[in-house]
């Protein structure tokens, strides 16, 4: 079947879908607004579906058909761009654009070192990091807004592949002056009468609840927060304790107070950091290079930005 649309028209359509506005899309990709409008009208006529609902005050909203076609358009653009990547691979040099999603609670610790070391090794790659929750990362993977995502081993649909890179056992985080601060390990029942400050994010809260359920203890939550730094500062100020899997290299909070982290005694399920990608028949060399870089940098239970156990 002869295709009666161009890759450029798909790019204009995707830009409008991401910006929610023809004017904003035109500014972003530096093309005239009428050119984008014409491209969208042509695609709607060619495919026989309405791609957008046009609202004067709110801009453009994708229709159900538009969402599906936007996803496929992104895949088509990525596959077309892979031809350039293949040519560079044949010339033994990795180049191109790579967008990596990263779990919002991990990104400040692990992303900067990964970006720095990967960019040093592959100077012709334009690498971008997008932070998000687990649900946001899944949506971005599904929409092909990101090429891969660094996240925990939470729930993934069948079309997503997850490669574990490192395991993080649970730790107890306490203020430096706490009576248990010098213990080599802490049993959960030792904290049973103390208030818990909970990282209250989807999936994370279920994980921490499972630790208490295994010990047959109630989870007495005093404060909930979706901010890791807020929780660390509350703990350092003596408002309670928390359980965490991350081990930042700094033991000082943003307000200058000190923390200690102590292993949680018992056989508890660790959280695993890994790289999630969509199942595809062809994976570009630029993504293969990033995967291998992650394997190398996480080798030996090393975690960028974190202390070793």
Residue 57: pLDDT band (50, 70, 90) is: low
Reported as a single tens digit per residue, the pLDDT across 149-178 is 999 998 888 889 999 999 999 999 999 999
Residue 86: pLDDT band (50, 70, 90) is: low
Residue labelled with tokens 């049993």: 187
Q: Can you say whether the dihedral through the CA atoms of 78, 83, 88, 90 is positive or negative?
A: positive
Angle at 51 between CA 47 and CA 55, to 5 degrees: 150
Can you say how many angstroms the Cα of residue 244 is from the centroid of all Cα atoms in its chain? 18
> pLDDT at residue 92 above 60?
no
Determine the Cα–Cα distance for residues 256 and 232; give it in Å rounded to an integer.
11
> pLDDT at residue 139 above 80?
yes
Beta strand 148-152 with 221-225 is unpaired
Phi and psi, residue 297, nearest 5°: -75, -25
Q: Which of 42-46, 80-84, 176-180 has the highest mean pLDDT?
A: 176-180
Determine the Cα–Cα distance for residues 168 and 99; give it in Å rounded to an integer.
25
Round the average pLDDT of the chain to a whole number and report it. 89
Determine the Cα–Cα distance for residues 87 and 110; give it in Å rounded to an integer.
31
266 φψ region: left (φ > 0), alpha (ψ -120 to 50), beta (else): left
Residue 247: pLDDT band (50, 70, 90) is: very high
Phi and psi, residue 291, nearest 5°: -60, -45
Query: How would you class 167 by CB atoms within 10 Å of its CB: exposed for 0-12, middle for 13-18, buried for 19 or more?
Result: middle
Average pLDDT over residues 122-137: 91
Q: Please answer whether residues 79 and 280 qualify as being in contact, where contact means their C-beta atoms are separated by less than 8 angstroms.
A: no
**CA count, 13 A, side-chain hemisphere, 137:** 34
Please give the domain boundaries of the chain with CATH numbers for all domains. Answer: 7-63 (1.10.10.10), 93-167+272-301 (3.40.190.10), 170-269 (3.40.190.10)
Which of 107, 114, 105, 109 lies closest to 305 in space, CA to CA?
109
**When comparing pLDDT for 212 and 6, which is higher?**
212
Q: In the sheet that 171-175 helps form, which strands lie side by side, from edge to edge? A: 242-244, 171-175, 259-263
> pLDDT at residue 237 above 70?
yes
Beta strand 160-168 with 242-244 is unpaired
37-51, 75-89, 183-197, 249-263 — which is least confidently predicted? 75-89
Reported as a single tens digit per residue, the pLDDT across 264-306 is 999 999 999 999 998 876 677 888 899 999 999 999 888 999 9
């Amino acid at each position: 079947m002869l295709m009666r649309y161009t890759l450029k028209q798909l790019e204009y359509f995707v830009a409008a879908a991401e910006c929610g506005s023809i004017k904003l899309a035109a500014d972003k990709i530096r093309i005239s607004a009428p050119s984008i409008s014409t491209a969208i009208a042509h695609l709607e006529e060619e495919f026989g579906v309405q791609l957008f609902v046009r609202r004067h005050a709110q801009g453009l909203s994708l229709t159900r058909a538009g969402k599906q076609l936007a996803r496929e358009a992104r895949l088509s653009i990525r596959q077309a761009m892979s031809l350039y990547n293949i040519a560079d691979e044949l010339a033994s040099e990795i180049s191109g654009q790579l967008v990596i999603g990263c779990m919002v609670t991990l990104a400040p610790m692990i992303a900067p070192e990964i970006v720095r070391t990967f960019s040093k090794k592959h100077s012709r790659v334009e690498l971008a990091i997008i932070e998000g929750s687990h649900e946001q990362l899944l949506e971005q993977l599904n929409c092909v807004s990101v090429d891969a995502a660094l996240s925990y081993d939470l729930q993934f649909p069948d079309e997503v592949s997850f490669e574990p890179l490192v395991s993080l056992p649970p730790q107890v985080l306490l203020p430096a002056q706490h009576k248990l601060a010098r213990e080599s390990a802490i049993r959960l029942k030792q904290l049973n009468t103390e208030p818990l400050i909970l990282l209250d994010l989807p999936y994370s809260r279920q994980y921490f609840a499972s630790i208490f359920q295994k010990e047959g203890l109630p989870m007495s939550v005093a404060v909930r927060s979706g901010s890791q730094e807020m929780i660390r500062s509350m703990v350092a100020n003596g408002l309670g304790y928390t359980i965490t899997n991350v081990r930042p290299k700094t033991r000082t909070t943003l307000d200058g107070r000190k923390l200690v982290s102590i292993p949680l005694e018992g056989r508890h399920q660790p959280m695993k950091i890994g790289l999630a990608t969509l199942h595809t028949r062809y994976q570009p060399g630029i993504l293969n290079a990033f995967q291998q870089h992650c394997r190398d940098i996480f080798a030996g239970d090393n975690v960028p930005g974190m202390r070793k156990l």
